[in-house]
């Protein structure tokens, strides 16, 4: 006889918080197979997050703006510190780097289409630059990665900005995985790899060991691209205060901080859940570092892009209020393209998952045609329609952030400030350095 959870509870059985059913199943799986779990996505455990913050809308002491009549601008300029041609975007929501290989060529094309429709940027990834995405992306950021996969000096020149990746929030200190079933001839050719063999990408750049060497590398990248393009440095959130300072010292025009809720195409579950710090905790550290170096929201300063678990306009507005200049989204963009669509539930179940739970992006069997290299599955994604869905979602996010900003009396999204926010829990108040709602108490900063 099987027992439903209600039946079990009514019989007085109590689930252990330490050895809960998920933990027991994981131990049993390890014992049965001798294999650790590799998956896509970000941390699933409950962490202090944007939901733990609330905005203080204006009333008497602050003056709100009228939704349909008064402007609230959304544009952002990235990389004016050194670049001849900084990126000028219409919305501060950018598309994060996701590799061709992890994603199909059509998915990369759809990301480019959607981002371009709303005037924002998209980013290459571990697999290098594809024609589809360069062709469809008005603003394309080219990743320069520890793996050097797909590295091509012509592509550096063909890009609109360069992102030097030092780490990712899902796995700071670790590399990614690309399972053999995704390494088709095309993917193998772009990465100079054998077809069909599992690959682990490097956890650190072979070209430098510290910030002084990084400064030399950034100098080389600027020379190759004639000082035209902004240079970003991306770090996974861990010792964020120091990492941001070192990135700025090394010459970054833009720093990207990716928190531990950030998605990945594939890595070990134990890594995703146990390494790094939450996005919320990383933002104030990054902002403090930029402020102390005199480059936060100053003329010719360094912009901060934040990623890791950004889902909607409220999350966007909270990031900006805490001091970010823009956000980057990965997981949410894939969902907007059509990932985890309930209409595909039967097919997800055949793979041992379900719509809303499917994170086996490493496996290459995605029925939505997004995280796959299978020639038939790929055909299921219409890049034009998927691009429109992404554009709609990006518009909604931007409008949601405007709604909140106007309610706080701000005529530009960048006028949002920490003073507009309070925290719901002591943990989030301490990490975000905000007062606990209804008090003026910021934990760790006295009364
Ligand atoms: C399918 C997938 C592939 C990714 N590939 C890369 C990559 O090649 N390089 C990289 O720096 N980050 C990669 N990332 C991480 C994203 O750039 C970004 O940091 C993360 O997705 C942000 O968190 P979010 O997914 O919660 O929005 C990938 C993420 C996903 C979901």
Q: The domain spanning residue 319 has which CATH number?
A: 3.20.20.70
Contact between 277 and 237 (Cβ < 8 Å): yes
The reply to whether 25 falls in a domain is: no
Residue 438 within a domain: no
Report yes or no: 43 and 408 within 8 Å, Cβ to Cβ: no
- CA of 51 relative to ligand 1 center, distance in Å: 21
Pocket test for ligand 1, best of 50, 233, 262 (most atoms within 8 A of CB): 262
Is a pLDDT exceeding 60 seen at residue 246? yes
Listed in sequence order, the residues at least 6 apart from 204 whose beta carbon sits closer than 8 Å to its beta carbon are 146
Confidence at 2, pLDDT banded by 50, 70, 90: low
Question: CA separation (Å) from 57 to 65, 311, 412, 445?
Answer: 11, 21, 15, 24
234 pLDDT more than 80? yes
Query: Does residue 294 sit within a domain?
Result: yes
User: Structurally, how many domains does the chain consist of?
Assistant: 1
Q: How confident is the model at residue 117 (pLDDT cuts 50, 70, 90)?
A: very high
Quote the ligand 1 centre to 216 CA distance (angstroms).
26
pLDDT in tens, 31-50: 999 999 999 999 999 999 99
Let me know if residue 445 belongs to a domain: no
CA 408 to the chain's CA centroid: 26
What residues are in contact with ligand 1 under a 6 Å CB criterion? 40, 42, 96-99, 102-103, 125-126, 143, 165, 168-169, 234, 258, 261-265, 307-310, 329-332, 361, 371
Alpha-carbon distance 363 to 374, whole Å? 11
Which distant-in-sequence residues (6+ apart) come within 8 Å of 194 by Cβ? 183, 188
What is the predicted pLDDT for the residue at 200? Answer: 80
What is the chain's mean pLDDT, rounded? Answer: 94
**99 burial type by CB count under 10 A (0-12 exposed, 13-18 middle, 19+ buried):** buried
Share of the chain above pLDDT 70, in %: 98
Q: How far is the CA of 87 from the centre of ligand 1 (A)?
A: 20
pTM listed for this prediction: 0.96
pLDDT bucket at 352, cuts 50 / 70 / 90: very high
Mind listing the pLDDT tens digit for each residue in 278-290? 999 999 999 999 9
Residue 23 lies in a domain: no
pLDDT, residue 199, reads 82
Can you tell me the mean pLDDT for 109-127?
96
Asked if residue 151 has pLDDT above 90, the reply is: no
Closest residue CA from atom 30 of ligand 1: 264
Q: Rounded mean pLDDT of 376-400? A: 98
| Confidence at 274, pLDDT banded by 50, 70, 90 | very high
pLDDT at 9 over 80: no
- Residue 4 falls within a domain, yes or no? no
The answer, yes or no, to whether residue 3 has pLDDT greater than 80, is no
Query: Is residue 29 situated within a structural domain?
Result: no
Phi and psi dihedrals of 287, rounded to 5? Answer: -65, -45
Measure CA of the first residue to CA of the last residue in the chain; give whole Å. Answer: 57
- Lowest mean pLDDT of 66-80, 113-127, 201-215, 220-234, name the range: 201-215
Using the mean position of ligand 1's atoms as its centre, give its distance from the Cα of residue 272 in Å.
Answer: 12
pLDDT of 10 reads 83
Lowest-pLDDT range, 51-55, 106-110, 174-178, 353-357? 174-178
Within a domain: 390 = yes
Average pLDDT of 346-374?
96
Calculate helix-pair angle for 279-292, 240-249, nearest 10 degrees: 40
Q: Which atom of ligand 1 is nearest to the CA of 332?
A: 27
Average pLDDT value for residue range 5-13:
80
Instruction: Identify the pLDDT of residue 152.
Output: 87
Ligand 1 centre to CA of 67 (Å) is 34
Residue 82: domain span? 50-432
Question: 351 alpha carbon to ligand 1 midpoint, in Å?
Answer: 23
């Amino acid at each position: 006889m099987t027992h439903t959870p209600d039946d079990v509870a009514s019989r007085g059985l109590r689930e252990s918080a330490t050895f809960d059913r998920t933990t027991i199943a994981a131990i049993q799986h390890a014992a049965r197979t001798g294999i650790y779990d590799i998956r896509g996505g970000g941390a699933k455990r409950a962490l202090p997050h944007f939901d733990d913050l609330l905005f203080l809308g204006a009333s008497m002491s602050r003056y709100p703006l009228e939704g349909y009549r008064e402007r609230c601008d959304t544009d952002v300029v990235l990389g004016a510190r050194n670049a001849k041609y900084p990126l000028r975007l219409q919305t501060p929501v950018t598309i994060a780097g996701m590799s061709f290989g992890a994603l199909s060529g059509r998915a990369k094309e759809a990301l480019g289409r959607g981002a371009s429709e709303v005037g924002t940027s998209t980013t290459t990834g571990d697999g290098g630059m594809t024609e589809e995405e360069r062709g469809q992306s008005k603003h394309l950021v080219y990743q320069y990665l520890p793996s050097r996969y797909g590295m091509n000096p012509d592509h550096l020149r063909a890009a609109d900005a360069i992102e030097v990746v030092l780490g990712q929030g899902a796995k700071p200190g670790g590399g990614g995985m690309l399972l053999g079933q995704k390494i088709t001839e095309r993917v193998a050719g772009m990465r100079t790899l054998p077809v069909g063999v599992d690959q682990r990408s490097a956890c650190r750049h072979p070209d430098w060991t510290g910030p002084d060497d990084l400064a030399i590398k950034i100098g080389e990248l600027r020379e190759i691209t004639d000082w035209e393009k902004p240079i970003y440095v991306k770090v996974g959130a861990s010792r964020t205060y120091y990492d941001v300072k070192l990135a700025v010292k090394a010459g970054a025009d833009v720093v990207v901080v990716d928190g531990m809720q950030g998605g990945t195409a594939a890595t070990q579950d134990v890594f995703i859940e146990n390494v790094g710090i939450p996005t919320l905790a990383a933002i104030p550290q990054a902002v403090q570092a930029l402020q102390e170096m005199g480059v936060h929201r100053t003329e010719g300063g360094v912009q901060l892009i934040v990623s890791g678990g950004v889902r909607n306009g409220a999350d966007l507005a909270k990031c900006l209020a805490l001091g970010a200049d823009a956000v980057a989204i990965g997981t949410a963009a894939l969902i907007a393209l059509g990932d985890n669509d309930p209409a595909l539930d039967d097919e997800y179940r055949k793979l041992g998952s379900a719509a809303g739970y499917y994170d086996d992006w490493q496996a290459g069997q995605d029925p939505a045609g997004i995280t796959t290299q299978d020639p038939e599955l790929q055909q299921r994604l219409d890049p034009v329609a998927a691009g429109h869905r992404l554009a709609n979602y990006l518009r909604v996010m931007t409008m949601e952030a405007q709604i909140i900003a106007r309610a706080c009396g701000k005529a530009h999204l960048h006028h949002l400030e920490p003073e507009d926010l309070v925290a719901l829990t002591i943990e989030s108040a301490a990490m975000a350095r905000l007062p606990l709602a209804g008090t003026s108490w910021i934990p760790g900063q006295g009364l």
